[in-house]
Amino acid sequence: MVVDAAFSEYQGKETGESALLRKLFSAFDPGDIAVFDRYCCSYMMLALFGQRRVHVCTRIHAHRSTDFRCGKRLGKNDCLVTWQRPQRPKWMSKEMYATIPETMELRMVRYSLVAQGRRSKVITVVTTLTDPIEYPAEEIAELYGHRWNVELDIRHIKQTLNIDHFRCKSPEMVVREFWVTLLGYNLVRKVMCEAAHFAGVLPRRLSFTRTCAHLLELRLWQQNSTLDVSGLLRYLGRLLIPDRPGRYEPRVIKRNRHRYPLMKIPRQKLKQIEMRKLA
């Protein structure tokens, strides 16, 4: 479920993903674990999470060294490394920079993704979960693997709930459309959690798209009748999606039936241009 969100202007300073993530620090409680991709993997970001006693698990940035010979060995492809504090970024004040520790001890874990018919992919993650006994390397790898669920959830919000393009025109109404859509998303997720508990399965085994379609059908056809909650949960609990680990689909379009150009100017102006051509 979505507990908080942040958005900003289309372009300009402090509009990137890292700046938006810093706006969401209040959504994290001490003891939480933040899992994100390598784009936000910076010393300052990890240190700011550490000040709030929030653990971090992220893929290491491409510019960072992944030499396992330089750290304290904890196991195969598992070691402790020490990062040095970089120079103060422009967005950070001098007072905040003074609170950042000069060094930070992190754990670096490397593992391979192996799928049939595909080349193995090596993933290196860093985390503040440094105890190898309490947090084995296999569980660290499994934890970061759940990050892909966020991409699937964003796809559901944008495509299934149809906000890949906002319909409202004014900024105030766009904000309302955004939050109302997230409210509807959380309500659907709540029903899915209840159905999964009723069926004895994990919530992510249920189909979000089919659940939305069934709830919409109930909204249209059962407005004046009594809703059988147990029957609804029993039916939704059977909407399982197959477990296909390692599935890969190329990001290509099979067929493009719409070959018309995009409308880049208002419709009325476009009509006037076409009328001038006909005249």
> DSSP labels for 132-175?
TTTS-HHHHHHHHHTTHHHHHHHHIIIIITT-SS----SHHHHH
- State yes or no: pLDDT of 206 exceeds 80: yes
Q: Per-residue pLDDT averaged across 4-28, rounded?
A: 90
Collapsing DSSP states into helix, strand and coil, what is residue 124? strand
**Using 50, 70 and 90 to split pLDDT, how confident is the model at 258?**
low
96 within 8 A of 77, measured Cβ to Cβ: no
Q: Per-residue pLDDT averaged across 185-198, rounded?
A: 93
Does 263 map to a domain? no
Query: Please, what is the average pLDDT of the chain?
Result: 88
Domain that holds residue 193: 170-241
104 & 68 share domain: yes
Q: Per-residue pLDDT averaged across 9-21, rounded?
A: 88
Q: Cβ atoms within 10 A of the Cβ of 50, count? A: 16
141 & 33 share domain: yes
Q: Per-residue pLDDT averaged across 78-107, rounded?
A: 94
In this predicted model, what pLDDT tens digit does every residue of 135-163 receive, in sequence order? 999 999 999 988 888 888 998 899 888 88
**Using 50, 70 and 90 to split pLDDT, how confident is the model at 218?**
confident
**Using 50, 70 and 90 to split pLDDT, how confident is the model at 243?**
confident
Does 140 map to a domain? yes
55 & 97 share domain: yes
End-of-domain residue from the set 114, 146, 178? 146
In this predicted model, what pLDDT tens digit does every residue of 219-239 receive, in sequence order? 766 555 666 788 888 888 888
- What's the pLDDT at 195? 93
- State yes or no: pLDDT of 44 exceeds 60: yes
Query: Domains in the chain: how many in total?
Result: 2
Q: What is the pTM of this model?
A: 0.79
27 & 112 share domain: yes
Q: Per-residue pLDDT averaged across 241-249, rounded?
A: 70
Does 222 map to a domain? yes
CA–CA dist 127, 109 (Å, integer): 8
188 & 136 share domain: no
End-of-domain residue from the set 97, 131, 146? 146
Does 11 map to a domain? no
Among 32-46, 51-65, 92-106, 249-263, which stretch is predicted with the lowest mean pLDDT?
249-263
Does 256 map to a domain? no
Residue 244: closest CA among 212, 195, 189, 204: 204
Does 259 map to a domain? no
- State yes or no: pLDDT of 118 exceeds 70: no
Does 246 map to a domain? no
142 & 192 share domain: no
Does 12 map to a domain? no
- What's the pLDDT at 225? 61
